[in-house]
Amino acid sequence: MSKAQFRTCPETGLQYHKQAEMLIRAHAVVAVVILLIGGIAALLVTLTRWPAIHLLPADRFYQLLTSHGVNMLIFWIISFEIAILYFCSSTLLKCRLATPKIAWLGFILMLAGIVVNNAAVASGTASVMMTSYVPMPANPNFYLGLILFAVGALIGCFVFLGTLVVAKDEKTYEGSIPLVTFGALTACIIAIFTIASGAIVLIPTWLWSLGLINNIDPAMYRVVWWALGHSSQQINVAAHVAVWYAIAAIVFGARPLSEKVSRGAFFLYIAFLQLASAHHLLVDPGLSAEWKIFNTSYAMYLAVLASMVHGLTVPGSIEVAQRSKGFTKGLFEWLRKAPWGNPVFSGMFISLIGFGFIGGISGVVMGTEQINIIIHNTIYVPGHFHATVVIGTTLAFMSLTYFLIPTLFRRQVAFPGLAKWQPYLFGLGMSVFTLAMMGAGTLGVERRHWDMAFTNTALSFDYPASAFTLMGIVGISGVAAILGGAIYILVTVVSVFFGKRVESESSYGFDMTTLSRADPLLVPDGGHEAAGKWGLAAPGTFVLAMFFLVIFVLYYAVNWKYLASVWPMS
């Protein structure tokens, strides 16, 4: 390998393999373009569900909701994730990317899939929602686009695995792979499972849409489709948790509290997360209660346990890092004195809190077998997953972008003032949006529904006025969050294509506290506990975790109480 194929970022010390760098850039740029398309759809959908505006006619609404779902949940996130896989393998292991030509083939297939699928939806012949439940038919190109994209993404996964092999073989690192790479490996393994499930369900469905297969069983379709649909969101969880650890390391030089625990938690994801396709089948006909209980709880909530562990160890590692720098006053000085003006950190921290408190708790509650009866397919469901996928994943990826712009693209972050506020506008707007949606869902407002007022229908129904108010709040906060998303796209596009070149760390466009080259923290005398309290290395984080648990327990209990008030049934 000639040295010329590598570039070392002078500020961060990160080493980029030229081919990997080009691929990461290409995937990230495509991801942001998709985010723009999905974002425009989001705006129009939001303005339609805002009862006072009710912008689009019904057919357009369903068409754009389909576009929004597929572009955001599949294309934006997985495109960005392939960029993350290449970064976590080639860049973090300082190693050449395996088979770059094949990686480019994967990229082209993904791009082709995006174009084919979007063209099918744009033609108006594939308004079937992201889930495309049979036997509702769609234009065959809808499925074909997804299949092409999946094959491309699968190639990306294998290039990632190949790169791990190359790094091991060429001894570019010693010992074990970094924790963040381990998290990316977790995401990759889940992605392979996901994509295989997607192939098993979408290839026959495509053939069915072409008239080559007679019948697809709708119950079977749902079981296998959700092994794609839900597991793809588990790729996100693994990926954004890896990004949280990465940002804690980048901004604070934080090291994991213990490698064993954090890696063990990722391992629990690999073992159990995929069972969650059952979350969508809890009120389906014919599945036994035993099957539902085992699967919906990821065996015995072992994947939830894993997320609760990460929820402690990520901020815990930040707390330990901050305490060893002297922020030891009280329980929370380490948090107060964190760099809240740095969007890399603020976005990551809002992502962590929003994912845990809003997305995590609501997900476990609605995934409880019986409680699902009062939640299934109400607008509570998108409320939940906008908290996990938008506040959790998308905001984490946005924060990482503010770090990648200077080191990967070598450009200053444009409009640093706007960038500083972006995570707050996006994260808090989205938090209100998701909470209002969950409130409306609790009042029975349906998801994927054009007209909650039921005007001009033979029969009618009146939701309580509070449901309309909540949907109005969904509209307002949704528009605020979309504005935050627009700022992200503006900052990213202007920085990458028109930004000033970076010369040193001081010209990044905003203050970074420490970067990855910062000296790894030394364990103080007497262990980390010495800088903590009560014999705990991270007492502030522990208090936050207990606060989280109290909210969790209360909300769980309230929902059982609500369930107990509905008609008895068996």
Give residues 118-137 in contact with another protein (rule: CB under 8 A). 127-129, 133-136
Among 1, 52, 53, 58, binds another protein (CB under 8 A): 58
**134, two tokens:** 């049979």
Q: Does 219 participate in binding another protein (rule CB under 8 A)? A: yes
Which residues inside 234-293 make contact with another protein, applying CB under 8 A? 245-246, 248-250, 253-262, 281-289, 293
Q: How far is the CB of 387 from another protein (least distance, A)?
A: 19
Neighbours of 52 (CB within 10 A): 10
Q: What is the pattern of x (binds another protein, CB under 8 A) and - over residues 304-323?
A: xx--xx--xx--xx------
Q: Does 153 participate in binding another protein (rule CB under 8 A)? A: no
Q: How far is the CB of 237 from another protein (least distance, A)?
A: 16
Which segments of 230-258 does DSSP mark as H helices, in order? 231-252
Among 101, 211, 214, 568, binds another protein (CB under 8 A): 568
Q: How far is the CB of 423 from another protein (least distance, A)?
A: 21
Which residues inside 343-372 make contact with another protein, applying CB under 8 A? 364, 368-370, 372
Q: Are 230 and 280 in contact (CB under 8 A)?
A: yes
388 DSSP 8-state letter? I
Nearer to another protein, 197 or 378 (CB): 378
Amino acid type, 75: F
Nearer to another protein, 38 or 311 (CB): 311
Q: How far is the CB of 65 from another protein (least distance, A)?
A: 8
Q: How far is the CB of 536 from another protein (least distance, A)?
A: 4
Amino acid type, 330: G
Q: Are 434 and 477 in contact (CB under 8 A)?
A: no
CA angle 484, 353, 89 (to 5 degrees): 80
Q: Are 157 and 188 in contact (CB under 8 A)?
A: yes
521 DSSP 8-state letter? P
Among 100, 106, 140, 178, binds another protein (CB under 8 A): 178
Total residues at interface with another protein (CB under 8 A): 118
Q: How far is the CB of 266 from another protein (least distance, A)?
A: 12
Q: How far is the CB of 420 from another protein (least distance, A)?
A: 24
Tell me the C-alpha to C-alpha distance, in Å, between residue 219 and each of 62, 204, 367, 512, 570.
23, 14, 19, 51, 21
Tell me the C-alpha to C-alpha distance, in Å, between residue 59 and each of 88, 122, 284, 403, 508.
42, 12, 27, 41, 46
Nearer to another protein, 503 or 553 (CB): 553
Nearer to another protein, 155 or 180 (CB): 180
CA distance 378 to 433: 15
Nearer to another protein, 439 or 485 (CB): 439
Nearer to another protein, 47 or 111 (CB): 47
Q: How far is the CB of 263 from another protein (least distance, A)?
A: 8
Q: How far is the CB of 173 from another protein (least distance, A)?
A: 5
**154, two tokens:** 């699968």
Q: Does 81 participate in binding another protein (rule CB under 8 A)? A: no
* φ, ψ dihedrals at 378, nearest 5°: -85, 175
Q: Does 46 participate in binding another protein (rule CB under 8 A)? A: no
CA angle 174, 178, 179 (to 5 degrees): 150
Nearer to another protein, 333 or 493 (CB): 333
In sequence order, the β-bridge partners of residue 7 are: 16
Q: How far is the CB of 494 from another protein (least distance, A)?
A: 28
Which residues inside 382-441 make contact with another protein, applying CB under 8 A? none
Which residues inside 494-533 make contact with another protein, applying CB under 8 A? 516, 518, 520-521, 528-529, 532
Q: Are 103 and 23 in contact (CB under 8 A)?
A: yes
Among 203, 451, 493, 555, binds another protein (CB under 8 A): 451
**377, two tokens:** 């397919």
Nearer to another protein, 284 or 333 (CB): 284
Nearer to another protein, 53 or 503 (CB): 53
Q: How far is the CB of 77 from another protein (least distance, A)?
A: 21
Q: How far is the CB of 34 from another protein (least distance, A)?
A: 22
Nearer to another protein, 312 or 481 (CB): 312
Nearer to another protein, 119 or 305 (CB): 305
Q: What are the residues whose beta carbons fall under 8 Å from the beta carbon of 412, sequence distance 6 or more?
A: 405, 406, 495, 499, 500, 501, 502, 507, 508, 509
Tell me the C-alpha to C-alpha distance, in Å, between residue 26 and each of 396, 418, 496.
19, 25, 12
Nearer to another protein, 99 or 172 (CB): 172
Which residues inside 530-559 make contact with another protein, applying CB under 8 A? 532, 535-539, 541-542, 545-546, 549, 552-553, 556
What is the DSSP secondary-structure string of 403-432?
HHHHHTS-BPPSSHHHHHHHHHHHHHHHHH
Q: What are the residues whose beta carbons fall under 8 Å from the beta carbon of 356, sequence distance 6 or more?
A: 307, 311, 548
